[in-house]
Amino acid sequence: MPDVGQIELEVPSPETNSSAYRKLQPGETFTGGIPILEYNQRVRFIQEAERLYGQFKGEGKWGDILLSEAAATKIFRQPDNILAAYEFEFMRMFGGKNGLPEFYGAVPDGYQMEKIEGKTLTSMINKAVMGITTEEIPAALKNLLTTEQAQELLNLIADFHKTTRRVHGDLGKFDDVIITREGKVRLIDPEWERIGNQTPQGELESTYRFLANNLGIGDLKMPETISEEEAARGLSEFKAGVLDRIELDPVFSSRVKRFKDVKVEIKADDNGLWVKPL
């Protein structure tokens, strides 16, 4: 893991002045749950986000991604939404496994993770078919991936199912499949909002058919995965575990107030963001 400024804040001792607020350092991450900012603090935080965590890359479905040389930082637009809590806890538990980016720690309103250098499979497909006729597409897509890469993708999906006990849920367009500069296969951004009726076997089979039929890759072996019942049970148990770790706003019970295990307090003023241990 690169040096991204991660620290573990401990309860201050009476002999020190460590309970005083100090300015948040660029790239700094924390243990514990997400420090969720109040609205007026969030406005100031967004103004400082690029200085703290790197250049704005773009908007995702649930948050903005900032990139530095050391890490990728996701800032949720609705950090008190239950789906943000699910994503944060999922990455904390499973980051770095089965092709997922490594989890580095919490930041205000979000989290920090490994920066993966590469191209999405979608962008590779689009580039291959750009400016050609329909008849030319099969030849252009043939062997876009090597047999080894295609098999690695199938194995990663099956291992993802077994490790996380759920489907990825968003592999239909392959925006969440990245081929790194070194030619390795990685997975990003599991779906939370629209998993629907997808099953582990169905997700694996549809990927297999695309690789074999559309990309013309042969000699692939279908790995084993978990049952539909196990996936449904695993996802349900995961969500229940997250709900045990948060406090719900008594007025808007569908919104997360904050994680119970938050380890830092963040405040913002005209001079920037300030942090102290709780």
Output the CA angle 230-236-240, nearest 5 degrees.
140
Count of the separate structural domains present in the chain? 2
**End-to-end CA, the chain:** 26
Contact 239, 10 (CB under 8 A): no
Tens of pLDDT, residues 178-221? 999 999 999 999 999 888 789 999 999 999 999 999 999 999 99
Residues 35 and 95 in one domain: yes
Specify the residue for token string 């499973």: 94
Residues 251 and 266 in one domain: yes
Tens of pLDDT, residues 160-169? 999 999 999 9
Residues 265 and 192 in one domain: no
Residues 39 and 109 in one domain: yes
Residues 232 and 250 in one domain: no
* 72 part of a folded domain: yes
* 1 part of a folded domain: no
* 189 part of a folded domain: yes
Whole-structure pTM over 0.95, yes or no?
Answer: no
* 278 part of a folded domain: no
**Poorest-confidence range of 121-125, 174-178, 242-246?**
242-246
Residues 268 and 219 in one domain: no
Q: Which of 34, 76, 42 is nearest to 59 (CA)?
A: 76
What is the pLDDT, as a whole number, of residue 195? 83
- Kindly state the tokens that stand for 228: 């539909």
Domain, as residue range, for 261: 6-115+243-273
Residues 111 and 122 in one domain: no
